Amino acid sequence: MPPSERFDHDVTTTCGYCGVGCRLEAHAVDGRVVSIAPALDGPANRGHTCLKGRFAHGFSRKRERLRTPLIRAADGDLRAASWDEAIALIARELSRIRDTSGPDAIAGLASSRATNEDCYVMQRLMRAAIGTHNIDNCSRVCHSPTSWALRQSFGLSGATGSFDDIEHADAAILIGANPTEGHPVAGARIKQATLRGLQLVTIDPRRIELSDYGVLHLSPRPGSNAAVMLGLAHVVARDGLVDHPFLDARTEGYDAVEDLLADYAPADVQRISGIPAGDLERAAHIYAEAENASLLWGLGVTEHKYGSEVVRLICNLALMCGKVGRPGSALLPLRGQNNVQGSSDMGALPDTFTGYQSVADEDVAQRFEARWGVSMKRERGLKIPEMFDAAVAGELKAMYIFGEDVAQTDPNTTHVVAALDALEFLVVQDIFCNETTRYADVVLPASSFLEKRGTFTNAERRIQLVEAAIEPPGEARTDFDILLAVSAALGHEMPFASPSDAMDEIAALTPDWAGVSHERVGRRGLQWPVAADGTDSPILYGSRFELPGGRARFAALPYKPPGSEADDEFPLVLVTGRRLEHYNAGTMTRRTGNLELLPSDWLELHPDDAARLWVSDGDLVSVRSAHGRIELPARVTERIEPGHVFTAFHFPEVRTNLLIGSSADVNTSCPEYKVVAVDVRPVAEQASRMPAIAAAP
């Protein structure tokens, strides 16, 4: 039976989970999504999808979906309210705070799960309706170091190529990412490429699945990535593998880097990182001697005190070998959420408008002011960590949080909760009640990716269409319509009848998006920059870099120790990451059959550490840092190196981020999730059978 006879409504849309951007065919009956299949012509997924994209859609019809606005009553409980009442209260309270304390007493967070158009109207709401640049998004706590570093080194804030470059590469280095769990379809493409001859080098404190398919695995101490990259570059320079014609024609600043590299001989890097000198040398030769080689990285690179500097060192290595700007030689950051690239592209950042145009640039600011009919200041607003600090200090009075459960996902949970509790007024717009809605004065029922129209931008800069398969449940509305209504109530009407209209304004104001429209995006998408005639850019920097003079910039950055290191009190180092079955805070996946596949989390530790601690597989253990304590079962495995432990953050009952402190990237304030000194012990009822625990050697 053909699909049109089996289903009431079929749409081709884009997945709302990770940053791969799989194209999907969603099939609905009686207003419910009943099945999802991969689109055969999806440019990123090529007819494949993972168990999240294909099967984890049941959350859309869960009874606990938010279906009506909620307002905090005098007794402290949330009660149902009408849209008119909720929006009137939001407008009244935000206007009061703006008028009495100034617009900068208010801040907003846009959602990297939402569309480009949603994020655009959110940042316009904050800037034009409220009058503040206090707008940010969750890229702050994941890939803001990538964005910053790529702009500094090359000029643009995105991958230099496409996932297709994986197939064109002869070799690749994958550092600080576990794609088969965090980005399964991209992970499968890497795995298939290795079976066809790709020489893969994996660099991670854990032996990830792809390590079994690669030719070499390097396991560095957490926080030593910079030393590893400098060591690789040292070998390239020492062994005559530098592409000097490329350097001379297209780069600047290499001499300072060459001087710095003298301090990072493989033996020196071995002392810092623990990686055998011979393995480091072999990895450098695999990358440099390949005709075409790519570099891929994830949060294991960026979520460090010097994450942005490590990304610049990754760029250095590519430039030294001339492996930029051609098929098979790409730099591919593996973005976490479905639209974390797009939310930043859309100007949901405190220092830039759309396309990373600075709020301090007079010509740019005047162009936006003329279009919106407002005046704006030229100084940047607050980043997410600064927002929480300002709330605790009493300087920030209100927040509008859209699609982010910051009370679960952000670091130093105790501090985040104190900030939310200190606010005079908090609006949360989401699809379920969560840890953050506990502190909200108004909760607005939003729409999932299956219930909206617009575009997402994936990890390869590909702008792709999103189509609604079903309507939002109950009285819930699309995020686009909610934000337009709130802005209008605050006195700023936006002239958009549909998300397509918003995209037209984005294109008019953003040179790198000049040729983008919903009609042109079509089924295969467009990779920005997109010229006015619709020509897009699958590969960047083929002839010039987007910096003054057209040359890329090297960065002479030495290794510096991480913000947290093991000691006698906290002798182990915790690394956090993702599991295949779940996604981020688990808001969606924990409400599907995926919860049966993975109903809870555990702490991975090496057999040597388990024996020293008298911990057996399955024992409940206490994990304590300088900032908090959690309990969860132990799993003993050789996938983790001695001295390290690992867990994820998908389950609110575990509250992993209680352990994370305030250490953050020096350039972007991205939290240092990946290096946390901890103490692990069996819980009290198990402790009677163990002797006193000695400190780790």
pLDDT in tens, 510-540: 999 999 999 999 999 999 999 999 999 999 9
Q: What is the mean pLDDT of residues 24-44?
A: 94
Lowest mean pLDDT, pick from 194-203, 227-236, 356-365, 653-662 = 653-662
The C-alpha atoms of residue 479 and residue 430 are separated, in whole angstroms, by 9
Query: What are 118's two structure tokens?
Result: 């949603």
Given a cut of 70, whether residue 688 has pLDDT beyond it is no
Given a cut of 70, whether residue 33 has pLDDT beyond it is yes
Q: Name the residue ranges covered by the structural domains of the chain.
A: 3-61, 70-139+338-449+473-498, 144-333, 572-687
Q: How many CA atoms lie within 13 A of 413 on its CB side?
A: 19
Task: 368-377: list long-range contacts, CB under 8 Å, 24+ apart.
Answer: 368/127, 368/509, 371/505, 371/508, 371/509, 372/124, 372/127, 372/128, 372/492, 373/128, 374/127, 374/128, 374/131, 374/492, 376/127, 376/128, 376/131, 376/133, 377/133
Question: Is residue 539 within 8 Å of 160, Cβ to Cβ?
Answer: yes
Q: How many CA atoms lie within 13 A of 19 on its CB side?
A: 31
Position 695 confidence tier, pLDDT thresholds 50, 70, 90: very low
Given a cut of 90, whether residue 255 has pLDDT beyond it is yes
Residue type, 508: A
pLDDT for residue 549: 95
pLDDT for residue 214: 97
The C-alpha atoms of residue 451 and residue 447 are separated, in whole angstroms, by 6
Given a cut of 70, whether residue 442 has pLDDT beyond it is yes
Q: Which CATH number fits domain 144-333: 1.20.1300.10, 3.30.465.10, 3.40.228.10, 2.40.50.320?
A: 3.40.228.10
Position 607 confidence tier, pLDDT thresholds 50, 70, 90: very high
The C-alpha atoms of residue 427 and residue 441 are separated, in whole angstroms, by 6
Given a cut of 80, whether residue 559 has pLDDT beyond it is yes
Mean predicted lDDT score pLDDT of the chain:
92
Given a cut of 70, whether residue 288 has pLDDT beyond it is yes
The C-alpha atoms of residue 79 and residue 69 are separated, in whole angstroms, by 8
Query: What are 463's two structure tokens?
Result: 């702008």
| Omega before 529 within 30 of 0, i.e. cis | yes
Q: What is the mean pLDDT of residues 157-165?
A: 97
Strand partners, 80: 70
84 Cβ partners below 8 Å, 6+ apart?
none
What CATH number belongs to 70-139+338-449+473-498?
Answer: 3.40.50.740
The C-alpha atoms of residue 165 and residue 167 are separated, in whole angstroms, by 5
Q: DSSP for 670-688, please give it.
A: -B-TT-EEEEEEE-HHHHT
pLDDT for residue 54: 85
Q: What is the mean pLDDT of residues 576-580?
A: 77
Position 172 confidence tier, pLDDT thresholds 50, 70, 90: very high
Strands (E) across 453-586 are located at 454-457, 462-466, 526-527, 552-553, 572-577
Given a cut of 70, whether residue 369 has pLDDT beyond it is yes
Q: How many CA atoms lie within 13 A of 450 on its CB side?
A: 29
697 Cβ partners below 8 Å, 6+ apart?
none
Q: What is the mean pLDDT of residues 589-602?
A: 77
pLDDT for residue 694: 33
Q: What is the mean pLDDT of residues 39-62?
A: 89
Q: Which CATH number fits domain 3-61: 3.10.300.10, 1.20.140.90, 2.20.25.90, 1.10.3720.10?
A: 2.20.25.90
pLDDT for residue 585: 67
Given a cut of 90, whether residue 61 has pLDDT beyond it is no
The C-alpha atoms of residue 269 and residue 203 are separated, in whole angstroms, by 14
Given a cut of 60, whether residue 1 has pLDDT beyond it is no
Q: What is the mean pLDDT of residues 135-139?
A: 92
pLDDT in tens, 450-485: 999 999 999 999 999 999 999 999 999 999 999 999
pLDDT for residue 79: 97
pLDDT in tens, 11-21: 999 999 899 99
Q: What is the CA radius of gyration of the chain?
A: 25
Q: What is the mean pLDDT of residues 130-140?
A: 94
Greater pLDDT, 92 or 601: 92
Q: What is the mean pLDDT of residues 182-205?
A: 96
Q: Which CATH number fits domain 572-687: 3.30.460.10, 3.10.20.30, 3.30.360.10, 2.40.40.20?
A: 2.40.40.20
The C-alpha atoms of residue 584 and residue 16 are separated, in whole angstroms, by 12
Given a cut of 90, whether residue 57 has pLDDT beyond it is no
pLDDT for residue 687: 43
96 Cβ partners below 8 Å, 6+ apart?
none
The C-alpha atoms of residue 487 and residue 366 are separated, in whole angstroms, by 21
pLDDT for residue 447: 96
The C-alpha atoms of residue 15 and residue 22 are separated, in whole angstroms, by 5
pLDDT for residue 684: 67
Given a cut of 50, whether residue 132 has pLDDT beyond it is yes
Given a cut of 90, whether residue 582 has pLDDT beyond it is no
| Percent of all residues in the chain with a pLDDT value above 70, rounded to a whole number | 96
Residue type, 133: H
Position 4 confidence tier, pLDDT thresholds 50, 70, 90: very low
Return the closest-CA partner of residue 557 out of 218, 229, 220: 229
